[in-house]
């Protein structure tokens, strides 16, 4: 073994002290200053002069080392030479090193504060666990719902909304993104960022989960084949919150959790014994897509009802606001809203949804009223508004379903929603489908994913085809014009939402080029992952679903009003009340009719009129006109459609 040199040993000892932090670094610098002062003082002691003892000489050296202003006061060549060396050493050791250490410590401390490692001291706030593609629209939705938020704050007896977001690595970049997000802007100061992961108990304590009024757990995106999935993170986060509540003997907060695999629902409910609402992300988007296939044009209804945009929304109000009134009487007192039905409490099982309830149904105190309106204020009584005429609607009987032909559907692309999409098609037992799913991924891998989900493709005549729709020859061989519907999916196997959407949009433009030569044009439904891309295809002929925006809206609104989840499940699943399009010729409408008359005629069939879908788009590219003014003349054209709420 080679012997250690003394110099190396000293360097090693100094290094170990320096890495211990700013305090030890300052101590080392102080030792060096003391040694230099001692050596400098001892060098001038033999010269005599003004120094009575070695202590005075050391003090003289220390003053020259720390303050260059003394340099011109010395007498004698040797004393001036030593003083000059001490002054230069002072610039390097005292001023340079000391300032460097303090500056570095201050920058490190500021960076640590920016990371958000300090626990928040808030109560009755809203916590969002995770920074994903849904976080920005989710925060925008929460801040952009003043009516619901006002009720939420009153319920929790607090004056101001505070939002706390847990991100893997909080940074100034995210603050900049918040300020540039439409709907947030200057209100970004209401949002507090904290660093950490939802699966870390310390991070959950950092955002004060136990003191929150609501905790939202959006689903993160993971690579295909990863053993750690977003559902695993969600369950771990719920287990950690429950464990903290047991440790501190605190009540469990209300949680809105998104999961990808709906089969994990029992696991989530077992992991979290407190109040929880679970949103199945994949199943939700799959339901919307299938209903969109069955009712072309429905995507615009989704984008109005389930996106943070202008237009109408679904609201749920407490029964105490209309106790003792019938639904018909309530509708006359809400001239700017449409009464859709009621929610009845059911012991130990939540709520029974009763949309399309008869107009003579009396509202009880414990019920919840479901309304469609453009603003929360319109769901309340307005004594200044002129009451409407009463509309009678009796009990609803499901209409006989007309014989349906085979609906051929072509799915281009592959993502984690394909198995749940196939399962949703299978749930419509009375329909005949032919589902062709095309992807460049190996056939064996896709078969394995379908099999794991337990989907029987034979029920929907499903086929897995191997081709790349980005290759024009492959796309032409598929003959997309021979299908009734074409669904273009955004891939979740590409690095970012922007890249995935870029591929989907290029594929769409290529599809349009092929369809331009065909006499028959199928319905085209395109899914996007990045909300910023929604305006790029201006004037497009496809129907567009922006998954993160829809899911963000659902998560935010369910967090503010828990009962809303069962309403959405009723509207967008098989066997529930459905939003459908009707031909105006199906109703005895006069040549000139306003919306109030349309509402009355549609009610005679036990349905609820919601609006009009125009064949020609307006200047903003929109076809849908939901909840128009009652006295507005509609001027229906031949190709226009009436939007109604009807039994499935």
135-143 helix and 547-560 helix, angle to the nearest 10 degrees: 40
Comparison of pLDDT for 40 and 243, the residue scoring more: 243
Instruction: Give the highest mean pLDDT range of 33-42, 228-237, 478-487, 531-540.
Output: 478-487
Confidence class for position 380, pLDDT limits 50, 70, 90? confident
Instruction: Give the highest mean pLDDT range of 218-222, 577-581, 615-619.
Output: 577-581
Task: Look at residue 169 in the predicted model and tell me its pLDDT.
Answer: 83
Tell which residue, 278, 272, 170, has the closest CA to residue 216.
Answer: 278
Is pLDDT at 585 greater than 80 in this prediction?
yes
Please report which helix (H) or strand (E) contains residue 608, including its range: strand 608-613
Instruction: Give the highest mean pLDDT range of 42-51, 389-398, 528-537, 620-629.
Output: 620-629
Evaluate whether 505 touches 537 at the Cβ level (below 8 Å).
yes
Task: Give tens-digit pLDDT for 288-305.
Answer: 999 899 888 888 888 888
Buried (b) or exposed (e) across 303-332, using 16+ Cβ within 10 A?
bbbbbbeebbbbbbbbbeebeebbbbbbbb
| Integer Cα distance of 246 and 241 in angstroms | 9
Instruction: Give the highest mean pLDDT range of 106-120, 152-166, 395-409.
Output: 152-166
Comparison of pLDDT for 270 and 7, the residue scoring more: 270
Task: Look at residue 422 in the predicted model and tell me its pLDDT.
Answer: 92
Task: Look at residue 416 in the predicted model and tell me its pLDDT.
Answer: 85
Helix-then-strand count for the chain, H and E: 21, 20
Among 2-6, 283-287, 350-354, 614-618, the minimum mean pLDDT is found in 2-6
Is pLDDT at 608 greater than 90 in this prediction?
yes
DSSP letter (8 states) at residue 542: S
| Integer Cα distance of 289 and 305 in angstroms | 15
Evaluate whether 488 touches 507 at the Cβ level (below 8 Å).
yes
Average pLDDT over residues 556-564: 89
Confidence class for position 182, pLDDT limits 50, 70, 90? confident
Task: Look at residue 48 in the predicted model and tell me its pLDDT.
Answer: 58
Q: Which residues contact 354 (CB under 8 A, 6 or more apart)?
A: 341, 342, 343, 344, 361
Task: Look at residue 170 in the predicted model and tell me its pLDDT.
Answer: 82
Question: 405 to each of 288, 484, 580, how far by Cα in Å?
Answer: 21, 11, 18
Two structure tokens written together for 483: 């299908």
Is pLDDT at 12 greater than 90 in this prediction?
no
Beta bridge partners of 141: none
Evaluate whether 152 touches 141 at the Cβ level (below 8 Å).
no
Percentage of the chain lying above the pLDDT 90 cut: 23
Average pLDDT over residues 201-230: 80
Q: Which residue has the tokens 């029987």?
A: 456
Task: Look at residue 1 in the predicted model and tell me its pLDDT.
Answer: 44
Q: Which residues contact 308 (CB under 8 A, 6 or more apart)?
A: 137, 140, 141, 144, 183, 549, 552, 553
Tell which residue, 262, 580, 648, 308, has the closest CA to residue 420.
Answer: 262
Is pLDDT at 75 greater than 70 in this prediction?
no
What are the φ/ψ torsions at residue 138 (nearest 5 degrees)? -65, -45
Evaluate whether 327 touches 359 at the Cβ level (below 8 Å).
yes
Among 150-159, 311-320, 337-346, 587-596, the minimum mean pLDDT is found in 150-159
Confidence class for position 339, pLDDT limits 50, 70, 90? very high
User: For the whole model, what pTM was predicted?
Assistant: 0.80
Confidence class for position 128, pLDDT limits 50, 70, 90? very high
Is pLDDT at 146 greater than 50 in this prediction?
yes
Q: Under DSSP, is residue 328 helix (H, G, I), strand (E, B) or coil? A: helix
Q: For all residues of the chain together, what is the average pLDDT? A: 83
| Integer Cα distance of 486 and 521 in angstroms | 10
Beta bridge partners of 526: 488, 544
Evaluate whether 595 touches 312 at the Cβ level (below 8 Å).
no
| Integer Cα distance of 290 and 423 in angstroms | 10
C-alpha atoms less than 13 angstroms from C-alpha of 564 in its C-beta half-sphere = 22
Q: Which residue has the tokens 């009610």?
A: 603
Two structure tokens written together for 54: 């070695």
What are the φ/ψ torsions at residue 90 (nearest 5 degrees)? -65, -40
| Integer Cα distance of 283 and 260 in angstroms | 7
Task: Look at residue 226 in the predicted model and tell me its pLDDT.
Answer: 55
| Integer Cα distance of 364 and 436 in angstroms | 49
Average pLDDT over residues 550-574: 87
Comparison of pLDDT for 510 and 347, the residue scoring more: 510
Q: Mind listing the domains of the chain with CATH numbers?
A: 6-114 (1.10.287.70), 126-274 (3.40.50.720), 406-550 (3.40.50.720), 577-648 (no CATH)
C-alpha atoms less than 13 angstroms from C-alpha of 478 in its C-beta half-sphere = 29
6-18 helix and 22-44 helix, angle to the nearest 10 degrees: 130
Tell which residue, 116, 118, 65, has the closest CA to residue 88.
Answer: 65
Average pLDDT over residues 379-385: 81
Comparison of pLDDT for 254 and 542, the residue scoring more: 254
Among 2-6, 30-34, 107-111, the minimum mean pLDDT is found in 2-6
The alpha-carbon radius of gyration of the chain (Å, integer) is 34
Average pLDDT over residues 94-120: 76
Percentage of the chain lying above the pLDDT 70 cut: 88
Residue 32: exposure state from Cβ atoms within 10 A (0-12, 13-18, ≥19): middle
Task: Look at residue 454 in the predicted model and tell me its pLDDT.
Answer: 85
Task: Give tens-digit pLDDT for 355-367.
Answer: 988 888 999 999 9
């Amino acid at each position: 073994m080679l012997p250690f040199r003394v110099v190396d040993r000293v360097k090693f000892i100094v290094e170990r002290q320096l890495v211990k932090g700013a305090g030890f670094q300052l101590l080392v610098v102080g030792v060096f200053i003391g040694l230099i002062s001692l050596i400098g003082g001892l060098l001038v002691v033999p010269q005599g002069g003004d120094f009575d003892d070695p202590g005075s000489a050391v003090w003289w050296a220390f003053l020259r080392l720390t303050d260059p202003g003394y340099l011109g006061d010395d007498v004698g060549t040797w004393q001036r030479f030593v003083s000059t060396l001490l002054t230069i050493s002072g610039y390097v050791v005292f001023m340079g090193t000391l300032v460097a250490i303090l500056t570095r410590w201050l920058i490190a401390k500021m960076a640590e504060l920016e990371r958000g490692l300090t626990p928040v001291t808030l109560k009755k706030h809203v916590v969002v666990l995770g920074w994903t593609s849904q976080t920005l629209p989710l925060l925008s939705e929460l801040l952009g719902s003043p009516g619901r938020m006002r009720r939420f704050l009153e319920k929790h007896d607090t004056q101001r909304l505070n939002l706390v977001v847990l991100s893997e690595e909080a940074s100034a970049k995210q603050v900049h993104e918040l300020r540039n997000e439409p709907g947030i802007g200057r209100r970004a100061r209401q949002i507090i960022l904290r660093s950490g992961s939802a699966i870390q108990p310390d991070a959950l304590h950092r955002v004060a989960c136990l003191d929150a009024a609501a905790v939202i757990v959006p689903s993160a995106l993971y690579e295909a084949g990863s053993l750690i999935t977003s559902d695993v993170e969600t369950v771990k986060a719920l287990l950690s919150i429950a464990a903290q509540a047991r440790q501190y003997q605190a009540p469990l907060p209300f949680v809105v959790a998104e999961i990808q695999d709906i089969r994990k629902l029992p696991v989530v409910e077992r992991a979290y014994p407190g109040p929880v609402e679970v949103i199945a992300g994949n199943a939700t988007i799959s339901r919307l897509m299938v209903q969109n296939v069955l009712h072309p044009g429905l995507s615009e209804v989704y984008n109005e009802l389930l996106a943070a945009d202008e237009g109408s929304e679904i609201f749920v109000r407490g029964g105490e606001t209309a106790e003792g009134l019938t639904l018909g009487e309530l509708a006359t007192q809400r001239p700017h809203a449409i009464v859709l039905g009621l929610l009845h409490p059911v012991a130990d099982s939540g709520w029974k949804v009763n949309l399309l309830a008869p107009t003579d149904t009396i509202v009880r105190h414990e019920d919840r009223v479901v309304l469609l309106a453009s603003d929360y204020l319109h769901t309340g009584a307005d004594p200044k508004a002129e009451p409407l005429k009463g509309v009678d609607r009796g009990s609803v009987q499901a209409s006989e379903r007309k014989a349906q032909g085979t609906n051929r559907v072509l799915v281009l692309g592959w993502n984690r929603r394909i198995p749940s999409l196939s399962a949703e098609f299978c749930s419509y037992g009375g329909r005949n489908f032919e589902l062709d799913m095309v992807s460049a991924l190996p056939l064996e891998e896709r078969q394995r994913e379908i099999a794991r989900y337990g989907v029987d493709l034979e029920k929907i005549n499903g086929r897995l085809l191997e081709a790349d729709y980005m290759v024009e020859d492959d796309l032409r061989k598929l003959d997309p014009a021979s299908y009734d519907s074409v669904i273009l999916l955004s891939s979740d196997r590409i690095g970012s939402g922007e890249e995935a959407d870029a591929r989907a949009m290029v594929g769409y433009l290529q599809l349009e080029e092929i369809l331009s030569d065909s006499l028959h044009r199928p319905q085209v439904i395109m899914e996007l992952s990045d909300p910023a891309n929604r305006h790029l295809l201006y004037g497009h002929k496809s129907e567009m679903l922006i998954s993160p925006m829809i899911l963000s809206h659902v998560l935010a609104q369910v967090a503010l009003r828990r009962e809303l989840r069962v309403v959405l499940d009723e509207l967008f699943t098989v066997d529930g009340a459905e939003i459908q399009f009707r031909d105006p010729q199906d109703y005895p409408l006069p040549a000139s009719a306003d919306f109030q008359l349309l509402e009355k005629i549609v009610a005679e069939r036990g349905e609820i009129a919601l609006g009009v879908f125009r064949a020609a788009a307006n200047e903003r590219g929109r076809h849908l006109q939901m909840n128009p003014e009652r006295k507005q003349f509609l001027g229906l054209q031949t190709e226009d459609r009436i939007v109604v709420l009807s039994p499935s």
